Amino acid sequence: MDMSARDEWMGDGMIAFWILSAAMALLVGAVIVLALLRGRRSAQDAVASDIGVYRDQLREIDRDEERGTVGPEEAQRLRTEVSRRLLAADAKDASETAAGSEPKPVSRVAALLIALFLVSGSIYLYASLGAPGYGDLGLSDRIARAEEARQNRPAQSEAESDAASAPAEAPNPEYQALVERLRATVAERQNDVQGFQLLARSEAALGNYRAAYRAQERIIELKGEEATAEDYADLADMMVLAAGGYVSPEAEAAVERALNRDPENGVASYYAGLSMAQTGRPDRAFRIWDNLLRRSTAEDAWVAPIMSQIEDMAWRAGVNDYSPPVPQTALPGPTADELEAAGELSEEDRQGMIEGMVARLSDRLATQGGSPEEWARLISAYGVLGNLDQARAILQNAEEVFLGDEAALTTVREAARSAGVEE
């Protein structure tokens, strides 16, 4: 179907839609008016029926008195009661008749107003909340349009021209002078990787993100195949900041190179999700961010911006009743990498390194307490170092602290078994 035929078909479809909508609104209005009129006639018929019943009752009382089945006093009491009801029904009938004798033009105007209100109200609501002229799109069509938008989005240079690039506050004059000297030095030493690294960080600190990412590009060029995921993630970060928060195709390319080197890189994963959110793919953005949150700690820089957006992203992706995972607080003390590095040192150096890393954690657990995970990490640290007596002592202390808490005891005992401490 060519575009002109498609437009003509869409136009005919919209005309049919509006005609059908108006007809349905008029039909509903007619039903409401008829229900009101029928309700009034039904009320009048009921009152007339009551009057007839009361009159029959009066005649029946007269006959009963003549036959002697009802005494004079009882007959008079019954006449009074039935007459009271008859007068009340007659008064009600008079009021209903007066209301029902409303002029026909007034009734017609009322019916017309109701119909107009329904039609105009429906059109107004649809025009305000709906999308006139916009056809229903299946999932494949929406994905195709999102991909088309991604292919045609603005480049980095276009986004930078629209973004405010002024620093948030005036830099320190002395620091500014140092950066200017650094620029001059690096300009004369184009192969100085460390110089460009310092320049990139300095320009970013000044808010000169365009100059910062250009320096970062030079770093990657000099490193060649040795460029790391962090190098590309930093480049993407600076480009996004230079574009005012927009992930351009060039920034996305840097994100992809970072993820190719390290699929777990947090900065790159965050921007990968942001790119999808900006180009009409909330479903993919939600999956990326949800997965990133589940492996992050509360201190990670990307956690706060994700938490502020992910519930809306989940709703847009069709995920109802979503509860974001709560990132764990980073545990103090030596990490597995640090412990492994310590194991490669000499005995004296290793002991000194571990003492520095563990001392603060050990002191805090002894004086303030801590989570089961922190106790488990301390046990693991001494296990890696081969200090099983100290690990065993910490296990015993932890068992006293968490007495009755089976979940916590399971955590610390599992750490003890992994460290080689026999219970």
pLDDT in tens, 262-279: 999 999 999 999 999 998
Distances (CA, A) of 9 to 67, 75, 123, 127, 133: 86, 82, 21, 21, 11
Residue 92 tokens, joined: 């009600």
Q: Phi and psi dihedrals of 297, rounded to 5?
A: -105, 160
Neighbours of 78 (CB within 10 A): 17
Task: Name the band, by pLDDT with cuts 50, 70 and 90, for residue 1.
Answer: very low
pLDDT of residue 158: 87
The proportion of the chain whose per-residue pLDDT surpasses 70, expressed as a percent, equals 64
The proportion of the chain whose per-residue pLDDT surpasses 90, expressed as a percent, equals 20
Distances (CA, A) of 386 to 56, 351, 395: 110, 11, 15
Residues 6+ away with beta carbon under 8 Å from 178: 202
Cβ contact 118:33 at 8 Å: no
Label residues 178-213 b or e (16+ Cβ within 10 Å = b): ebeebeeebeeeeebeebbbbbbebbbebbbbbbbb
Q: How far is CA 176 from the centre of its chain?
A: 41
Which of 66-70, 362-366, 390-394 shows the lowest per-residue confidence on average (mean pLDDT)? 362-366
Highest mean pLDDT among 55-59, 199-203, 388-392: 199-203
- Among the listed residues 274, 227, 281, the one whose alpha carbon sits nearest the alpha carbon of residue 248: 274
How many angstroms separate the CA atoms of 177 and 397, rounded? 56
How many angstroms separate the CA atoms of 36 and 114, rounded? 12
Cβ contact 421:396 at 8 Å: no
Task: Name the band, by pLDDT with cuts 50, 70 and 90, for residue 175.
Answer: confident
Say which DSSP state 130 is in: S
How many angstroms separate the CA atoms of 416 and 377, rounded? 10
Alpha helices in 190-333 (DSSP H): 193-206, 209-223, 229-242, 249-261, 266-278, 282-294, 303-307, 310-316
> Does 328 have pLDDT greater than 80?
no
For the segment 110-119, the average pLDDT, to the nearest whole number, is 69
Distances (CA, A) of 245 to 62, 159, 269, 384: 96, 9, 15, 44
Task: Name the band, by pLDDT with cuts 50, 70 and 90, for residue 95.
Answer: low
> Does 17 have pLDDT greater than 70?
no
pLDDT of residue 342: 53
How many angstroms separate the CA atoms of 346 and 266, rounded? 34
pLDDT of residue 16: 66
How many angstroms separate the CA atoms of 295 and 325, rounded? 10
pLDDT of residue 352: 62
Residue-wise pLDDT for 212-237, tens only, equals: 999 999 999 999 999 999 999 999 99
Task: Name the band, by pLDDT with cuts 50, 70 and 90, for residue 137.
Answer: very low
How many angstroms separate the CA atoms of 278 and 150, rounded? 9
> Does 257 have pLDDT greater than 90?
yes
> Does 39 have pLDDT greater than 70?
no
Residue that is written with structure tokens 């995920």 in the block: 319
Neighbours of 160 (CB within 10 A): 19
For the segment 159-187, the average pLDDT, to the nearest whole number, is 74
Kindly report the pTM of this predicted structure: 0.52
How many angstroms separate the CA atoms of 376 and 383, rounded? 10
Neighbours of 323 (CB within 10 A): 7
Mean pLDDT of the chain: 76
Q: Phi and psi dihedrals of 412, rounded to 5?
A: -75, -35
Kindly state the greatest CA–CA separation across the chain. Answer: 135
Alpha helices in 102-138 (DSSP H): 104-129
> Does 399 have pLDDT greater than 80?
yes
How many angstroms separate the CA atoms of 129 and 75, rounded? 69
Residue 166 tokens, joined: 């002024």
pLDDT of residue 8: 53
Task: Name the band, by pLDDT with cuts 50, 70 and 90, for residue 159.
Answer: confident
Distances (CA, A) of 374 to 152, 294, 350, 363, 416: 50, 19, 21, 12, 13
Higher pLDDT, 70 or 283: 283
Cβ contact 364:387 at 8 Å: no
How many angstroms separate the CA atoms of 386 and 421, rounded? 10
For the segment 152-178, the average pLDDT, to the nearest whole number, is 73
Highest mean pLDDT among 39-48, 73-82, 321-330, 395-404: 395-404
For the segment 66-82, the average pLDDT, to the nearest whole number, is 77
> Does 181 have pLDDT greater than 50?
yes
Give the CA angle between residues 199, 202, 205 to the nearest 5°.
150
Residue-wise pLDDT for 348-387, tens only, equals: 665 565 566 666 667 767 766 777 887 888 888 777 767 7
Residue-wise pLDDT for 308-319, tens only, equals: 999 999 988 888
SS3 328: strand
Residue 411 tokens, joined: 């955590």
